[in-house]
A and B are shown apart, each in its own frame.
Chain A
Amino acid sequence: MRILVVEDEANLRHQLQQRLVTEGYSVDVAKDGEEGLFFGEEYPFDLAVIDLGLPKLSGIELIRGLRRKQISFPILILTARDNWQDKVEGLEVGADDYLVKPFNMQELLARLNALLRRSAGFSSPQIAWGPIEINTLHQIATLDGQEVALTAYEYKVLEYLMLHAGKVVSKSELTEHIYDQDFDRDSNVLEVFIRRLRKKFDPDGNLQPIETLRGRGYRFARKQPAT
């Protein structure tokens, strides 16, 4: 999952980036509203965390600009000015949730997780497909109730595919959503991840959760497997 963080205060921006990366997100940061708008238009994010008091272009203007360009990823507002006028205005122009500074990092992560799930159409952090289940809050995957050890990137690929089950996900889309823009990508690595995921979750090849569509990408099965 790729997250855009727009925050002008360097320390907080850095802390947010560090923490979100540790939590397994790909993070791009922007230090003002204009940069935020540019990034938001340019790259396919899954979510944005936007401070309201931004230089050059205020948070409200930034959100309005993004929504006007039909960019629909969920947006969480961070605000130091804890008044309802700002919160209501922010949500009215198109944000989805707000958090008042100073905030608890756990609280932020829970809110982000809920927004991501909600935007993918899931109401619970547990997403299950037959014996395979992931918990997006704790970022763990289980097979028949047994936790499966995954690397951060393996988990990211699995989560992205499961959140977009039934949809064809191209290699480039997958790459963009699991890596941030500074990362040197190699799409061959994706094939390795997919192969490893298949091996870990479907060693016998009975389930076939991930389908390869030649030249188009991958698709996680929407229909539950027959048990």
Chain B
Amino acid sequence: MRSIHSRLLLAASVVLAAFLGLGALALDRAFRDSAENALQTQLMSQIYALLGAADTDAQGRMRLPETLPDPRFSNPASGLYAQVSGEKGEYQWHSPSAVGRRLPMPGGVASGQPHFVYLPADEPLYLLAYSLLWEDDAGAEIAYLFVVAESAFGLQERVAAFRKTILIWLGGAALILLLVQGVVLRWGLKPLREVALDLRMIESGTRERLEGAYPRELRRLTDGINSMIQHGETSRDRYRNSLGDLAHSLKTPLAVLQGAAEGGDARLLREAVSEQVPRMNDIVQYQLKSAAAAGRGAGLTHKTLLRPKIDRLVSTLQKVYRDKGINCLCEVAEDVLFPGEQGDLLECLGNILENAFKYANTTVAIFLESDTERLPTKGVRLCVADDGPGIPFEVRERVLRRGERGDQQMPGQGIGLSVASGIVRLYGGDLEIGESDLGGARIAIWMPGRLQTN
């Protein structure tokens, strides 16, 4: 069951069938009950009519006449039968219609209480028994049991006819409801088909985004897809740019090496190689890292818990710089979320923390700081401070831009801060180098108002 349409239709059909089935059953039951009630009343009237027509004999005892009120009593096998019996076999009478058949005489019928039963047989019958007391001329009371029965065929035919009618009507209604349902579903699911169609158009290149007027329920989905498309394009552009930059910036050192090789001086060549190899390495590292960083997913909101990543990095660096016995103070609460992809966070923070551990004398501190300059636009900065020599004001800009230029004129400074700065900038944030209260450098990462504390 892969289609929403068929799922909904199946569910609706099952519900519809159940409801209509139950409805039909209830109607059938009600009709039958009411027909039986009507029949009972009719049979009771027949008994009263027989009583009304009854004569008396010489002693004043009840006797039924030759001519009966309903002509059906007179025709054999007409379907309406009557039988009367007096107390202790005093009188036995049956209507001419009942010739050749004996109607059962139910016992224990209280006087004045009609007793109605259905008797299934070759000719099923509805039977009403009624007992009454008759006073003769001598004043003696004689009990007579009247039994009137009517063939059930008539009632059964009426019930069958009724059933047929409701089946036709309810069946018709069900069919119409299903059709309407189908149409409603098609109409309701139309936006999904449109999205699928639009996506196919994007795949085939005839469209760039999902631009239709989609219903509210789908807008999150379509916005998400648009964001992903946008993100894909941005990443592709970035890869292309990075590769272009990479090729471009590798050409200079390659030219130096080629020149040195062609010059034929072994000492110069060795010098050129040892100078240019680290430079090329930095260029490759910086450009590839920038390309690999996920960056801001244009609406795809990555959020990473900051503290666990800091803890992992710190314990790694504590191990590597074990000899220095660095005291690392982390004042970042457990529930702070970093608005970035976790690989980017690890890369960015790893580089900054490694620098701090490398240059610190005794202490590295990691903390959050509200950025008063940027308030009230929600500024929280993540800071890493150390008590090392710090980074002189004049070279800070160059340290951060180093990777882009493959600048090798920065003794003692790795490419790490430049990589971190590049990643932060991908998110639209920035990285600042300053002085820390501890005496060394302080690196502050600002993400555009999105470093959240819960």
Interface residues of A (CB under 8 A from B): 82-85, 87-88, 91-92, 96-98, 102, 114, 118, 123
Query: Please, which residues of chain B bring their CB within 8 A of the CB of A114?
Result: 323
Stretch at the interface among B82-90, B169-177, B235-243, B342-350: B342-350
A132 to B323, CA, bound (A): 24
Q: Are A83 and B347 in contact (CB under 8 A)?
A: yes
Q: Are B320 and A123 in contact (CB under 8 A)?
A: no
Q: Are B281 and A118 in contact (CB under 8 A)?
A: no
A102 to B284, CA, bound (A): 11
Q: Are B347 and A88 in contact (CB under 8 A)?
A: no
Q: Are A88 and B312 in contact (CB under 8 A)?
A: yes
The binding surface of chain B is classed by DSSP as helix
Q: Are B316 and A92 in contact (CB under 8 A)?
A: yes
With contacts A84-B347, A88-B312 taken as known, whether A97 is within 8 angstroms of B323 at the C-beta atoms is: no
Q: Are B343 and A96 in contact (CB under 8 A)?
A: no
Tell whether B305 is near chain A: CB-to-CB under 8 Å: no
CB nearest to B280 among chain A residues:
A102
Q: Give the contacting residue for B346; candidates A82, A85, A91, A92; CB below 8 A.
A: A85
Instruction: Tell me the minimal C-beta distance from A89 to chain B in angstroms.
Output: 9
Interface size on B, residues (CB 8 A): 19
Tell whether B313 is near chain A: CB-to-CB under 8 Å: yes
A156 to B422, CA, bound (A): 47
CB nearest to A91 among chain B residues:
B316
Instruction: Tell me the minimal C-beta distance from B413 to chain A in angstroms.
Output: 16
CB nearest to B323 among chain A residues:
A123
Q: Are A88 and B285 in contact (CB under 8 A)?
A: no
Q: Are B343 and A83 in contact (CB under 8 A)?
A: yes
Tell whether B251 is near chain A: CB-to-CB under 8 Å: no
Q: Are A88 and B346 in contact (CB under 8 A)?
A: yes
Q: Give the contacting residue for B316; candidates A83, A87, A123; CB below 8 A.
A: A87
Query: Please, which residues of chain B bring their CB within 8 A of the CB of A88?
Result: 312-313, 316, 346, 350
Query: Please, which residues of chain A bring their CB within 8 A of the CB of B216?
Result: none
Tell whether B268 is near chain A: CB-to-CB under 8 Å: no
Instruction: Tell me the minimal C-beta distance from A161 to chain B in angstroms.
Output: 23
Q: Are B350 and A97 in contact (CB under 8 A)?
A: no
Query: Please, which residues of chain A bring their CB within 8 A of the CB of B323?
Result: 114, 118, 123
Tell whether B190 is near chain A: CB-to-CB under 8 Å: no
Tell whether B374 is near chain A: CB-to-CB under 8 Å: no
Query: Please, which residues of chain B bring their CB within 8 A of the CB of A97?
Result: 319-320
Tell whether B277 is near chain A: CB-to-CB under 8 Å: yes
Tell whether B322 is near chain A: CB-to-CB under 8 Å: yes
Q: Are A87 and B350 in contact (CB under 8 A)?
A: yes
Q: Are A102 and B350 in contact (CB under 8 A)?
A: no
Instruction: Tell me the minimal C-beta distance from A93 to chain B in angstroms.
Output: 11
Most buried by B among A83, A84, A87, A88: A84
With contacts A102-B277, A118-B323 taken as known, whether A82 is within 8 angstroms of B285 at the C-beta atoms is: yes
Q: Which B291-334 residues have a C-beta within 8 angstroms of A?
A: 292, 312-313, 315-316, 319-320, 322-323
Instruction: Tell me the minimal C-beta distance from A188 to chain B in angstroms.
Output: 39
Query: Please, which residues of chain A bring their CB within 8 A of the CB of B313?
Result: 84, 88
Q: Give the contacting residue for A98; candidates B277, B320, B346; CB below 8 A.
A: B320
16 example contacts (A-B, Cβ-Cβ < 8 A) are as follows A83-B343, A84-B350, A84-B351, A85-B343, A87-B316, A88-B313, A88-B316, A88-B350, A92-B315, A96-B319, A97-B319, A97-B320, A98-B320, A114-B323, A118-B323, A123-B323
Q: Are B281 and A102 in contact (CB under 8 A)?
A: yes
Kindly list 17 other residue pairs between chains A and B, CB separation below 8 angstroms, not including A84-B313, A92-B315. A82-B289, A83-B289, A83-B292, A83-B346, A84-B350, A85-B343, A85-B347, A87-B316, A88-B312, A88-B316, A88-B350, A91-B315, A91-B316, A91-B319, A92-B312, A114-B323, A118-B323
Q: Which B252-309 residues have a C-beta within 8 angstroms of A?
A: 277, 281, 285, 289, 292
**Which 9 pairs of residues, A with B, have the shortest CB-CB distance?**
A84-B350, A84-B346, A91-B316, A88-B316, A88-B312, A97-B320, A84-B347, A91-B319, A123-B323
CB nearest to A96 among chain B residues:
B319
A102 to B277, CA, bound (A): 9
Query: Please, which residues of chain A bring their CB within 8 A of the CB of B289?
Result: 82-83
Q: Are A91 and B285 in contact (CB under 8 A)?
A: no
Query: Please, which residues of chain B bring their CB within 8 A of the CB of A91?
Result: 315-316, 319-320
Instruction: Tell me the minimal C-beta distance from A78 to chain B in angstroms.
Output: 14
A97 to B347, CA, bound (A): 17
CB nearest to A102 among chain B residues:
B281
CB nearest to A90 among chain B residues:
B316
A102 to B315, CA, bound (A): 25
Query: Please, which residues of chain B bring their CB within 8 A of the CB of A84?
Result: 313, 346-347, 349-351
